[in-house]
Structure 1
Amino acid sequence: METKHNTQTVTSADGTTIAFERIGQGPALILVDGAMCHRASGPARPLAQELADSFTVYTYDRRGRGESGHTASYAPEHELEDLAALIEEAGAPVLLYGISSGAALALAAVQSGLAVSRLAVYEPPFIVDDTRPPIPTDYTERIQEFLATGRPGKAIGYFMRKGVNLPGAMVAMMRFMPGWSGMKEVARTLPYDAAFVTDFERGRPLPEGQWDSIKVPTLVADGAKSPAWIRNGATDLARVLPHAERRTLPGQTHMVKPQALAPVLKGFFR
């Protein structure tokens, strides 16, 4: 049976329209997507379906993606303002979950003082040791150059190779997959994600005190089958957070199955 998606909108502080939908009943829980994902293309909707029996779940299109608006200039603060508008709509305080670079955005949101009572993050892409190469020093600049010269496919390829650390052959194959054109449409938002993660992708342990202002209980989760580098990043994040609980999901990778993740989130958020 096909689920009907009722899109609603909120207006962010700079006037940008942010599209969202909500399902379920219970405490408000907002899901934050990672790079290039949005409601129609990513893990949020399937996860929301699994959580809707326990929470009022909000999924939204981050600015520049899906049905949300965007502006010519970007600042990370705008994404925090987007979340603030959604929290006001949902009714503060909310529960907050972020995956991948969306996890870094969720951390920044709580750090900035947004009204969040509990936070859960899954595999923020932090590189904290030598188990993989760090991102290049000109990583963001290279992506911006590809985008500015009308080469979104090059930007995606560079992100997949240098950011995600996928093999070149796998990245080359992606160009022939059905979702490639959709990825090119949202490639312009790659610098948005970079703004939240690049400081923590240099191959060094996470800085002490970076998130000391996060006083809420925080779940840091990863998948047992994920690469060592991203699992080590999760472990280091749990080390520096003041009130962290660490969980590893058996059999899961970065593409975590909603049926495996939902019970863990329900147990933590209740």
Structure 2
Amino acid sequence: MDKNITSRDGTPLAYESAGRGSTIVLVSGAMSTGATVAPLAAPLSERFRVVVYDRRGRGASGDTPPYAVEREVEDLAALIEAVGGEAALYGVSSGGALALRAAAGGLPVRQVAVYETPYAMSGEHLEERARYTERLTAALAEGRRGDAVELFLRLTGLGEAVIQGARQSSMWAGMESMAQSLAHDDAVMGDGGVPRELLSSIGVPVLSIAGDASPAWMREAARAIAESVPRGTYRTLGGQTHMVEPDVLAPVLAEFFRA
């Protein structure tokens, strides 16, 4: 990241941009940084000015306590102001929930696209999310960063053998360094359910996308978002999972953002 701004509460935020044209800000999900969405920025920058940034608590950005979701919305407000005063937003996974909150909060956002924002679609899933929140909060309070990462990986559906293999990998130290930000994403997701009242207040066009190879509940959640906003559209991408391929997603986003 080659540029820095300061958010309203004094937190430094790192970002970079590429391309020319109307601005799109890419919002990453849990356990990720701006670098994670950079492969998507490359094809989009052929037609747009694309901005990627490190959300607070990760990468080269700071993390001023105490955390509140409103601070992350203020981060986006400061970033949008710095890059021209208006932008479209794309958010992946829990980053989609943040993008939707920003649009509902009245930021100068012209369009929002989200990919597989993982809202719970059943009572059982909501209970699982509540247990995750409780255990994550305890693990982070006790400094058990590795356990916090394990909790998140289990929530995503990874098996124990894969998780224990990850613990032995060279990537684990980096994952543990970002463990505290898991609480940020958990807060952004609220109670885990679809926030229909909040979504109903969004006045700009919203494109909600899912991969047709992802679990059915992911597609249901994406459809629920589109149905809850006044100007929502739902779309699936053939053969895609939660780890969507940038070259498949980019043309769909470009078509939406050109409109």
> Same fold by TM-score, threshold 0.5 exceeded?
yes
Q: 2:226–2:233: 8 Å Cα contact kept in structure 1?
A: yes
Residue 115 of structure 1 deviates from its aligned partner by 0.5
Structure 2 counterpart of 1:120, one-letter code = A
For the residues of structure 2 that align with 1:190 and 1:136, how far apart are their CA atoms? 13
Percent identity (aligned): 46
Paired positions, count: 258
CA deviation map 1:62-110 (0-9, x unaligned): 0010000112321111101100000001112211100000000000000
Residue 138 of structure 1 deviates from its aligned partner by 4.1
> Taking structure 1 as reference, are residues 131 and 138 closer, same or farther at Cα in structure 2, changes over 3 Å only?
closer
Show structure 2 runs of 5+ residues with no match.
Answer: none
Q: Does 1:9 align with 2:4?
A: yes
Pairing 1:100-139 to 2, within 5 Å after superposition: 100-129=93-122, 134-139=127-132
Q: 1:221–1:247: 8 Å Cα contact kept in structure 2?
A: yes
Equivalent of residue 74 in structure 1, options 67, 74, 77: 67
Residue 144 of structure 1 deviates from its aligned partner by 2.2
Q: Secondary structure at the match of 1:118?
A: strand
Pairing 1:149-228 to 2, within 5 Å after superposition: 149-161=142-154, 163-201=155-193, 206=194, 208-228=196-216
Higher helix share: 2
Equivalent of residue 63 in structure 1, options 36, 56, 66: 56
Q: What TM-score, normalized by structure 2, do the two folds share?
A: 0.94
For the residues of structure 1 that align with 2:248 and 2:46, how far apart are their CA atoms? 15
Structure 2 counterpart of 1:64, one-letter code = G
Show structure 1 runs of 5+ residues with no match.
Answer: 1-5
Q: Secondary structure at the match of 1:135?
A: helix
Instruction: Please name the residue that 1:148 is paired with.
Output: 141
For the residues of structure 2 that align with 1:102 and 1:136, how far apart are their CA atoms? 17
Instruction: Please name the residue that 2:218 is paired with.
Output: 230
Instruction: Please name the residue that 1:265 is paired with.
Output: 253
Q: Does 1:88 align with 2:81?
A: yes
Equivalent of residue 24 in structure 1, options 15, 19, 22: 19
Q: 1:111–1:214: 8 Å Cα contact kept in structure 2?
A: yes
Q: 1:135–1:198: 8 Å Cα contact kept in structure 2?
A: no
Range moving further from structure 2, 164-173 or 68-77: 164-173
Range moving further from structure 2, 163-172 or 108-117: 163-172
Q: 2:130–2:191: 8 Å Cα contact kept in structure 1?
A: no
Residue 135 of structure 1 deviates from its aligned partner by 2.2
Q: 1:224–1:250: 8 Å Cα contact kept in structure 2?
A: yes
Q: What TM-score, normalized by structure 1, do the two folds share?
A: 0.91
Residue 148 of structure 1 deviates from its aligned partner by 2.2
Q: Secondary structure at the match of 2:50?
A: strand
> Taking structure 1 as reference, are residues 130 and 212 closer, same or farther at Cα in structure 2, changes over 3 Å only?
closer
Residue 239 of structure 1 deviates from its aligned partner by 1.5
Structure 1 counterpart of 2:140, one-letter code = L
Q: Secondary structure at the match of 2:198?
A: coil
For the residues of structure 1 that align with 2:85 and 2:13, how far apart are their CA atoms? 18
Range moving further from structure 2, 121-130 or 165-174: 165-174
Residue 131 of structure 1 deviates from its aligned partner by 8.2
> Taking structure 1 as reference, are residues 131 and 49 closer, same or farther at Cα in structure 2, changes over 3 Å only?
farther
Give the superposed CA RMSD.
1.6
